[in-house]
Amino acid sequence: MKLSVIIPCHNEEKNIFLFYDEFKNAFKYYKNTFELIFIDDGSKDNTFKELKKLVEKKENIDNIKALSFSRNFGKEAAMYAGLKEAKGDYVCIIDADLQQKPSIILDMIKILDKEKEYDCVCAYQNNRKENRLMTKIKRTFYKIINSTSEVKFVTGASDFRLFRKSVAESIITLGEHHRFLKGIFSYVGFNTFYIPYEVEERVNGKTNWNFTKLVKYAIDGILSFSNLPLKLSLYFGNFIFISSIIYLIVALILKLEIVTTLMFFFIFLSLSIILIFIGITNLYIARIYDEVKSRPNYIIRSTISTEKNNKK
Ligand code: UDP
Ligand code: MG
């Protein structure tokens, strides 16, 4: 088995066969050298039924496996499940909605075949079809995370990647519950080759992202890879402490009427800052709690595959 392709799917009923046909077309000269691993991440539509049809297709000679989660656990969990299933020497993660063209995987394979010093090829979006505000928000996120995090993030780098088995194995060994794969890829290291790619329009269905989900995802990333927010309280605390001493001295010398007003202002300011940082600390505590509970990242309801053609 040469290549394992991981395809996370959430409400993609109309895209399963389209994806498969496009993939098959791109890989027509590569028969039996790949396995497709679809992960149905708790879809509410007929995604798993479509996957069943695909697996049971008589003329199907490809290696196809489909897992279905007991509920929606998120794309990170779906990718993790796929990584655990992958047996190929090369592993690829690609979306089901054809926004990422399967033919690009062939270019990625060529790079890894030729450039032995590289272990991963990552596709980054050079111009994403989205509004300017969104692009600006994303740029700001990358700036914040890069200036505060222990590992570096490449702007626009997607989950659309091809990497060697060794990279997949090292990612699986990381036991953290809150998984932020973009950061994990940077954390495990290895040499990464970046190629630009054009994001296509979604063929069917709609994006699973909205503004709130993106903000949550960004906070997840920062909490996973940066401890700076925790330290900020110390910096602010010191700053307020020094400011209040200066303020006290000035107030004593000047004996100003404005003093009472300013005093209230500082009391409220300090209180709000204290509350904000208690909040930030609580975010980390909540994550520690989640890690300690060590619940699984996902629960599999059923698995089907062309290999055994059996159902669990
Ligand atoms: N996805 C998933 N679980 C989720 C959300 C998304 O498995 O909870 C899958 C989805 O089916 C798609 C990929 O992740 O194959 C990317 O999702 P989407 O197209 O919604 O994101 P976008 O391309 O808009 O960033
Ligand atoms: Mg998409």
In order, the DSSP letters of 88-100 are SSEEEE--TTSSS
Hey, which residues does 68 pair with through a beta bridge? 40, 302
- What gap in Å lies between CA 185 and CA 168, rounded to an integer? 9
- What gap in Å lies between CA 245 and CA 258, rounded to an integer? 17
Residues near 278 by beta carbon (within 8 Å), at least 6 away in sequence: none
- The fold for domain 3-126+159-208+297-310 equals Spore Coat Polysaccharide Biosynthesis Protein SpsA; Chain A (3.90.550)
Q: Nearest ligand, CA of residue 77? A: 1
From residue 111, give the alpha-carbon distance in Å to each of 105, 115, 122, 124, 187.
10, 6, 11, 15, 22
**The predicted structure's pLDDT at residue 312:** 40
Q: How far is the CA of 10 from the centre of ligand 1 (A)?
A: 6
Q: How far is the CA of 131 from the centre of ligand 2 (A)?
A: 15
Q: Which of 202, 164, 147, 177 is nearest to 76 (CA)?
A: 177
* Both tokens assigned to 263: 């005093």
Q: How far is the CA of 9 from the centre of ligand 2 (A)?
A: 10
Does 161 contact ligand 1 (Cβ within 6 A)? no
3 has a pLDDT exceeding 90: yes
167 has a pLDDT exceeding 70: yes
Average pLDDT over residues 250-260: 73
Average pLDDT over residues 222-240: 79
Angle among Cα 40, 60, 20 to the nearest 5 degrees reads 45
Higher pLDDT, 201 or 167: 167
Q: Are 198 and 13 in contact (CB under 8 A)?
A: no
Q: Nearest ligand, CA of residue 78? A: 1
> pLDDT tens across 260-304, in order?
767 777 887 787 788 788 878 888 887 887 777 778 889 999 999
**The predicted structure's pLDDT at residue 10:** 95
Distance separating the N- and C-terminal Cα atoms of the chain = 23
Does 74 contact ligand 1 (Cβ within 6 A)? yes
- Residue nearest ligand 1's atom 21 by CA: 207
From start to end of 140-182, where are the E strands? 157-164
Q: Nearest ligand, CA of residue 12? A: 1
Residues near 268 by beta carbon (within 8 Å), at least 6 away in sequence: none
Q: How far is the CA of 242 from the centre of ligand 2 (A)?
A: 50
Pocket test for ligand 1, best of 95, 137, 202, 212 (most atoms within 8 A of CB): 95
Does 149 contact ligand 1 (Cβ within 6 A)? no
Percent of the chain with pLDDT over 90: 40
**The predicted structure's pLDDT at residue 311:** 43
Higher pLDDT, 116 or 237: 116
* Both tokens assigned to 42: 């708790």
> pLDDT tens across 168-180, in order?
999 999 878 888 8
- Residue nearest ligand 1's atom 8 by CA: 74
Buried b (16+ CB within 10 A) or exposed e, 271-297: eebeeebeeeeeeeeebeeeeeeeeeb
- Residue nearest ligand 1's atom 22 by CA: 207
From residue 247, give the alpha-carbon distance in Å to each of 8, 158, 256, 262, 266.
57, 49, 11, 9, 10
Q: How far is the CA of 77 from the centre of ligand 1 (A)?
A: 12
Q: Nearest ligand, CA of residue 207? A: 1
Q: What is the pairing mode between strands 120-125 and 157-164?
A: antiparallel
Q: How far is the CA of 76 from the centre of ligand 1 (A)?
A: 10
**Which atom number of ligand 1 is nearest to the Cα of residue 9?**
11
- Residue nearest ligand 1's atom 24 by CA: 207
Pocket test for ligand 1, best of 69, 199, 208 (most atoms within 8 A of CB): 208
Question: Mean pLDDT in the chain?
Answer: 85
Q: Are 61 and 30 in contact (CB under 8 A)?
A: no
Weakest mean pLDDT among 37-51, 68-82, 231-245: 231-245
Give the SS3 label for residue 210: coil
- What gap in Å lies between CA 66 and CA 55, rounded to an integer? 8
Does 85 contact ligand 1 (Cβ within 6 A)? no
Q: Are 115 and 29 in contact (CB under 8 A)?
A: no
Does 47 contact ligand 1 (Cβ within 6 A)? no
Does 164 contact ligand 1 (Cβ within 6 A)? no
pTM passes above 0.85: no
- What gap in Å lies between CA 255 and CA 242, rounded to an integer? 20
Domain boundaries, given as residue ranges, for the chain: 3-126+159-208+297-310, 228-293
Residues near 246 by beta carbon (within 8 Å), at least 6 away in sequence: none
